[in-house]
Amino acid sequence: MTDDAFATTGRAAGKFDGGAGTWSYRDGVYTECIRIHSNEALMGEKVAFSCRLEGDLWHHAADFVAKGRRYVIDEVWRRLRRQPCDAARPDAVAP
């Protein structure tokens, strides 16, 4: 996730699942404009999520219809703090 774009990847039922697009936040509503997605029915959709931040946990949920199919999303994501590249490597040696 960047200041204005998002990308997700994952696996569901042994298959690749992912998408990307732009996002915005206004008046307590997080909105995704899905540009590409492994599920073609979601491409071009604009999805509004209710959301809240609790410490490093971000909760967001949406219930919407795309191309005649209902989707219910209720997710919790955890913020990962940035580390220097070498700090993440177990074999890294301090200078």
pTM of the model: 0.76
Per-residue pLDDT tens digits for 36-91: 999 999 999 999 999 999 999 999 999 999 999 999 999 999 988 887 776 666 66
The CB-based long-range contact list for 5-13 (8 Å cut-off, 24+ gap) reads 6/32
Per-residue pLDDT tens digits for 34-49: 999 999 999 999 999 9
Rounded Cα–Cα distance for residues 45 and 30 (Å):
14
Q: What pLDDT sits at residue 90?
A: 63
Three-class DSSP category at 22: strand
Closest by CA position to 10, among listed 57, 56, 52, 73: 73
